[in-house]
């Protein structure tokens, strides 16, 4: 029984870890290498979280579009059908 709960808990933890939005980064107007990106990414990821201000300070720009809430439309107050 404990093994079952442990597996369920591990599954939930893995599902939650996959929900974080990954961003793509690039430097505009200047060449860069993969090693440079990995070095800066590691330096700005202290404590397991990426510090986006640190990446921007090093010249990186996020190219992943920001996800905004879709605009909610109010339904037509009239019932469907002929008038």
- What φ, ψ does residue 66 adopt, rounded to 5°? -75, 130
Q: Tell me if 6 is assigned to some domain.
A: no
**Domain range holding 29?**
23-64
* 5: in domain: no
- pLDDT in the model for residue 55: 95
Question: pTM for the full model?
Answer: 0.53
pLDDT digits (tens, 9 = 90+) for 7-47: 555 554 544 455 556 789 999 999 999 999 999 999 999 88
State the Cα–Cα distance between residues 39 and 42, nearest whole angstrom: 5
> What pLDDT shows up at residue 46?
86
- Residue 42's pLDDT is what? 95
Stronger pLDDT, 66 or 16, i.e. the higher one: 66
| Domain-embedded: residue 56 | yes
pLDDT given at position 66:
64
Number of domains present in the structure of the chain: 1
**Domain assignment of residue 33, yes or no:** yes
């Amino acid at each position: 029984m404990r093994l079952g709960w442990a597996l369920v808990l591990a599954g939930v933890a893995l599902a939650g870890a996959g929900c974080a939005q990954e961003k793509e980064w690039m430097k505009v107007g200047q060449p860069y290498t993969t090693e440079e990106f990995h070095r800066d990414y590691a330096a700005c990821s202290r404590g397991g979280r990426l510090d986006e201000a640190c990446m921007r300070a090093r010249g990186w720009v996020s190219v992943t579009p920001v996800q905004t809430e879709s605009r909610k439309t109010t339904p037509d107050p009239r019932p469907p059908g002929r008038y």
